[in-house]
Amino acid sequence: MEFTKSEVDTLCEILRWRRDVRHFRPDPLDDALLARLRAAMALAPSVGNARPWRVMRVRDPARRAAIIRLFEQSNTQAAAAYDDATRAAYLQLKLAGLREAPEHLAVFTVADPAEGHGLGRQTMPETLAYSTVMAIHTLWLAARAENVGLGWVSILDPDAAHAVLEAPADWRFTAYLCLGHAEFSDDAPLLHRTGWQENHEADWIDR
């Protein structure tokens, strides 16, 4: 299949407008939309076609509250690692939309799935986790195309999150995602707008 120039341009716009969303509207996402996002995620590539990702839809208020407490504890610890000036700037950043986002998704990687029969991961077993991250990125782009925001909450103790969610022992915690309609649209990412970090294109080098 060949794509048109218009379709290529649309993909570039989706990539350009992807954001790590922290400000959400609380209105729920309908089931049909969630089904489309789930189907899109299933199209992601994976090492040996192992499909190692497992997604837990966190709906229980008590578990959500426990995750929020874990985030707040980890965020306080992270802030303490900075000098005074940087800490003040850090504490001004909104780094999670856990209280507002209508959907919480915990994503795990199965440690040694039978699927794929080990193909492609004998020398690099970490490719299982890479496959899960690629599935998350696929979900992220699909959500953006549906005008839905996604935020990755990385300031969490993975072992504590795993315990709160009572995940199976062979599931490794990979990501905690917030999903919902963004509260506002902005052409500047949060870290640009606050002066924390600009985008820098990585160099390609020749050998």
Query: How far is C-alpha 154 from the chain's CA centre?
Result: 8
Contact 144, 67 (CB under 8 A): no
**pLDDT band of 187, cuts 50, 70, 90:** low
Q: What is the pLDDT of residues 26-51, one digit of tens each?
A: 999 999 999 999 999 999 999 999 99
* pLDDT at site 171: 97
Domain presence at residue 31: yes
Listing from the earlier edge strand, what are the strands of the sheet with 103-110?
53-58, 103-110, 171-180, 149-153
CA 113/CA 130 separation, integer angstroms: 14
Q: Is residue 9 part of a domain?
A: no
Residue 47 within any structural domain of the chain: yes
Question: Does some domain include residue 2?
Answer: no
What is the reported pTM? 0.89
187 compared with 183, residue with greater pLDDT: 183
Average pLDDT for the chain: 91
In a domain, 165, yes or no: yes
User: What residue numbers bound the domain in which 40 lies?
Assistant: 21-183
In a domain, residue 146? The reply is yes
CATH number at residue 100: 3.40.109.10
Q: What is the predicted pLDDT for the residue at 196?
A: 61
Average pLDDT over residues 105-113: 95
- Establish if 67 belongs to a structural domain: yes
Per-residue pLDDT, 190? 65
What domain count does the chain have?
1
